[in-house]
Amino acid sequence: MKIIPRLLLNKKTFAAFDEFVATIITMLTGNVNFPITEPPLAMVQTKSGEYHDAVVDATNGNKQQRQFRKQKRGELHIIVTDLAWDVASRSSGDLAIYLTSGFDYKRPRVPAGDLTAPGNNRLGYTNNSGELVNRHNVVKGALLYVVMVGITAVPPEMAVSTIMASGPTPGPTPGQDWWLAGVSSSTKFTIKGLTPGTTYYSRCLALGTGGKIGPWSLVASKMAV
């Protein structure tokens, strides 16, 4: 994995930038993952101290002091940016190691048109016996959502076209542990015709334009009442 630092230093206030650098120094001090950095941590500490003093002096200070604060911020900005890229390189693609530095990273972008798995898939109760409601987060680019329900914790591997062709049923046919609950444009779908006292499992996926099919969500479970 290529780690790209996410800094957003220009968006931080003078005080927030001061606090951010102090946190990085604390995280890197004695960090066994980064015994050596370039620039050296001692240099970063020195520049951080100079900037901190400049920030304090510029509070309610004159124009010259505010200009000096800006100068010191620029110097520290360059050093911290170099430091972030250095620890990213020394992490050798291991995100867990990189994060111990205190720096954030840029998340990989999802290619345009690709669908993700519905997040936070869950089952809940309605006011009616023998019903469960399946809910999940919105998937960007989704037109419809396919909801499956079953009576086993592990769903079968089955093509979506096969699932859709079976049509919604109120329960499993003999030998069928999972079935199509329905297709909806909403992130909320009520599953009916369930047997009270039976634990049911559900999962869902998103359908998009051009026949795009997203991955399945995590499996949720709940006992019908």
* CATH code for position 157: 2.60.40.10
pLDDT range class, residue 146, cuts 50, 70, 90: very high
Q: Does 92 lie in the same domain as 136? A: no
Lowest mean pLDDT among 78-92, 156-170, 200-214: 156-170
Pick from 105, 140, 165: which residue ends a domain?
105
Q: Does 128 lie in the same domain as 88? A: no
pLDDT range class, residue 216, cuts 50, 70, 90: very high
- Arithmetic mean of pLDDT, 129-134: 96
Q: Does 96 lie in the same domain as 166? A: no
Closest C-alpha among 138, 136, 114, 154 to residue 204: 136
Tell me how far the alpha carbon of residue 214 is from its chain's centroid: 17
> Considering the domain boundaries, does residue 115 fall inside one?
no
- Arithmetic mean of pLDDT, 7-22: 96
User: Which residue segment(s) compose the domain that 84 sits in?
Assistant: 5-105
Q: Which residues of 43-79 are buried (b: 16+ CB within 10 A; e: fewer)?
A: ebeebbeebbebbebbeeeeeebbebbeebbeebbeb
> Considering the domain boundaries, does residue 114 fall inside one?
no
Closest C-alpha among 68, 79, 69 to residue 45: 79
Pick from 105, 134, 167: which residue ends a domain?
105
Please tell me the total count of domains within the chain: 2
Lowest mean pLDDT among 12-16, 103-107, 109-113, 125-129: 109-113
User: Which tops the pLDDT comparison, 154 or 49?
Assistant: 49
- Arithmetic mean of pLDDT, 16-45: 96
Q: Does 184 lie in the same domain as 139? A: yes
The pLDDT value recorded for residue 157 is 83
Q: Pull the structure tokens for residue 65.
A: 């002091």
- Arithmetic mean of pLDDT, 7-15: 95
Pick from 105, 130, 158: which residue ends a domain?
105
Closest C-alpha among 118, 184, 171, 115 to residue 145: 184
Q: Does 140 lie in the same domain as 217? A: yes
> Considering the domain boundaries, does residue 187 fall inside one?
yes
pLDDT range class, residue 37, cuts 50, 70, 90: very high
> Considering the domain boundaries, does residue 184 fall inside one?
yes
The pLDDT value recorded for residue 163 is 74
The pLDDT value recorded for residue 200 is 95
pLDDT range class, residue 113, cuts 50, 70, 90: low
> Considering the domain boundaries, does residue 91 fall inside one?
yes
* Order of all β-strands in the sheet with 220-223: 178-184, 144-150, 199-207, 220-223
pLDDT range class, residue 221, cuts 50, 70, 90: very high
> Given a cut of 80, is residue 169 above it in pLDDT?
no
> Considering the domain boundaries, does residue 90 fall inside one?
yes
- Arithmetic mean of pLDDT, 15-31: 96
Q: Does 94 lie in the same domain as 20? A: yes
pLDDT averaged over every residue in the chain: 91
Q: Does 27 lie in the same domain as 99? A: yes
Q: Does 173 lie in the same domain as 91? A: no
Q: Does 52 lie in the same domain as 141? A: no
Q: Does 22 lie in the same domain as 77? A: yes
pLDDT in tens, 48-100: 999 999 999 999 999 999 999 999 999 999 999 999 999 999 999 888 899 99
CA dist., res. 154 & res. 211, Å (int):
26
